[in-house]
Amino acid sequence: MSLSTVRILAAGAVAAAVVALGVPAGAATASEATSLATGRWTSTWSASLHHPTPSNDWQGSNWSVPGFTDQSVRQVVRVSTGGSQVRIRLSNRYGAAPLRVTGATVAKAATGAAVRPGTVRQLTFDRSRSTTIPVGQETTSDAATIPVGPLDSLAVTLYFAGSTGPATFHELALATTYRAQGDRRFDPSASAFAGETSHSWYYLTGVDVAGRTGGWAGRHGSVVALGDSVTEGYGSTVDANNRYPDQLAERLVRSGRPMGVVNAGIGGNKLLGDSTCFGASAVDRFANDVLAQPDVRTVIVLEGVNDIGTGGMPDYLGCGASPTVTAAQLIDAHRGLIRAAHGRGVRIVGATLTPFKGSFYAPAEEWEAAEKAGSVPAAERVRDAVNTWIRTSGEYDAVADFDWALADPADPDAMRAAYDGGDQLHPNDAGMDAMANAIDLGRL
């Protein structure tokens, strides 16, 4: 695995890098661009993808390095808002060769790998049943007519007759993906997929909806949650859709607000540092993962904890070394994201960085030594400075105070025990719910 180079960008360079990225080449046809301009399509689910990564003890096994040959991959995703038409977006951004997708289907999901009989729809790409995606590019399917309600689950099945090579993917999906030999796109039962599972997503980077269904016409755009493993949902229950963006989507449904909510979190992701293991920096991926989302209205930014917590660490994972960052550097990067969002007419919400006292980013012995000296660890001083700026500067359009929502009232630098996923860094299901409840729906 090649090592990535970590770059620290000045304020002006951050904004320039974000704006210069634009929508990726080949990402949309002319007809799709018209749909985006009119707001006809709304993003209802997404995953931020990254380089293939070998299986490991921390995240478990995945199929990204070998890829697929004469195999079907069934991926179950829960949408956030509904419509009468669906399309999918596939990415070969980190592939080594053109990706030949022999065929694809979408269906209403049942239990496990099963789908509801009579709901399977064949997907086409520019009216062809197959498509080839060049290296570094994405493609979008044609519309498929299938009524989808808010919080429905869909099963997307991709078939690869030939060898794909290493797969562009999202490592920690916190959802079960199924694999079977041969072409199983139209199989309604789960039997062919028994025994071969993964907790990653492959090639699938977005699901969009259009049209009316169940009184959910007149959607008001999508909210993109940009972040690291906390946004991704690490610490929440697998296959339960309890990530904080999922629970935000549930709040919006209960309130009668027809908005999409999509997750652009990547475990280990940094605001400033690129990594082959943990994705491009938030600065570098902002254009593709946020601004290119169909009908994006608002972005919630929760980034910087990994820049702070890994600062000064050597390249012990083979993912690149992590230079120490200052609060000023992180604030400059946040300002760049704000300018880029406002330049596209997108509202941007700043989320305060969550507590990490006692975690491997701020071990107890460091706190004891600092407190004896009448201070706090250097990492905590940076986190506090960034949070103070987010809360008080007025530069973000709104603030989601996740730090306050998760903090222990008796020790505000630490996460409340009832919300701790077990490592004093990642919230559990209850903590994810507390984060979702900290967001003012009226500011989205």
Are 425 and 312 part of one and the same domain?
yes
Report which secondary-structure segment, H or E, holds 145: strand 144-148
DSSP 121: E
**The pTM of the whole model exceeds 0.85:** yes
Q: Mean pLDDT, to the nearest integer, of 162-180? A: 97
| Residue 50 maps to a domain | no
| Residue 223 maps to a domain | no
106: pLDDT strictly greater than 80: yes
Task: Evaluate whether 334 touches 258 at the Cβ level (below 8 Å).
Answer: no
pLDDT of residue 318: 73
Are 178 and 274 part of one and the same domain?
no
The mean of the pLDDT values for the chain is 89
Are 196 and 249 part of one and the same domain?
no
Nearest in space to 264 (alpha carbons), one of 225, 208, 230, 220: 225
Are 377 and 404 part of one and the same domain?
yes
- Other residues' Cβ atoms within 10 Å of the Cβ of residue 326: 15
pLDDT of residue 213: 64
Q: Which of 217, 247, 279 is the last residue of a domain?
A: 217
Q: What is the percent of the chain where pLDDT is above 90?
A: 78
Q: How many domains does the chain have?
A: 2
| Residue 64 maps to a domain | no
**β-pairing, 131-133 with 99-101?**
antiparallel
More confident position, 355 or 15: 355
Range of the domain at 358: 229-443
Are 151 and 235 part of one and the same domain?
no
Are 273 and 407 part of one and the same domain?
yes
432 by Cβ neighbours in 10 Å (0-12 / 13-18 / 19+) ranks as buried
16: pLDDT strictly greater than 60: no
Q: Which of 217, 242, 257 is the last residue of a domain?
A: 217
- The predicted-structure confidence for 379-436, as pLDDT tens digits, reads as follows 999 999 999 999 999 999 999 999 999 999 999 999 999 999 999 999 999 999 999 9
Q: What is the percent of the chain where pLDDT is above 70?
A: 89
Are 380 and 279 part of one and the same domain?
yes
Are 198 and 313 part of one and the same domain?
no
| Residue 66 maps to a domain | no
- The predicted-structure confidence for 232-281, as pLDDT tens digits, reads as follows 999 999 999 999 999 999 999 999 988 999 999 999 999 998 888 899 99
| Residue 123 maps to a domain | yes
3: pLDDT strictly greater than 70: no
- The predicted-structure confidence for 140-155, as pLDDT tens digits, reads as follows 999 999 999 999 999 9
Are 201 and 247 part of one and the same domain?
no
Are 152 and 256 part of one and the same domain?
no
Gap between the Cα atoms of 245 and 83, Å rounded = 19
Gap between the Cα atoms of 245 and 261, Å rounded = 6
Are 165 and 86 part of one and the same domain?
yes
Are 149 and 249 part of one and the same domain?
no
27: pLDDT strictly greater than 80: no
pLDDT of residue 316: 66
pLDDT of residue 368: 83
Q: Which of 217, 249, 276 is the last residue of a domain?
A: 217
Q: DSSP for 374-399, please give it.
A: TS--HHHHHHHHHHHHHHHS--SSEE
Task: Evaluate whether 150 touches 82 at the Cβ level (below 8 Å).
Answer: yes
437: pLDDT strictly greater than 70: yes
- The predicted-structure confidence for 272-314, as pLDDT tens digits, reads as follows 988 888 999 999 999 999 999 999 999 999 999 999 998 877 7
pLDDT of residue 4: 32
Which residues does residue 408 pair with via DSSP β-bridges, in sequence order? 411
| Residue 254 maps to a domain | yes
| Residue 410 maps to a domain | yes
Nearest in space to 143 (alpha carbons), one of 70, 221, 88: 88
Q: What is the CATH number of the domain that holds 319?
A: 3.40.50.1110
Lowest-confidence region among 26-40, 55-69, 176-190, 361-375: 26-40
| Residue 338 maps to a domain | yes
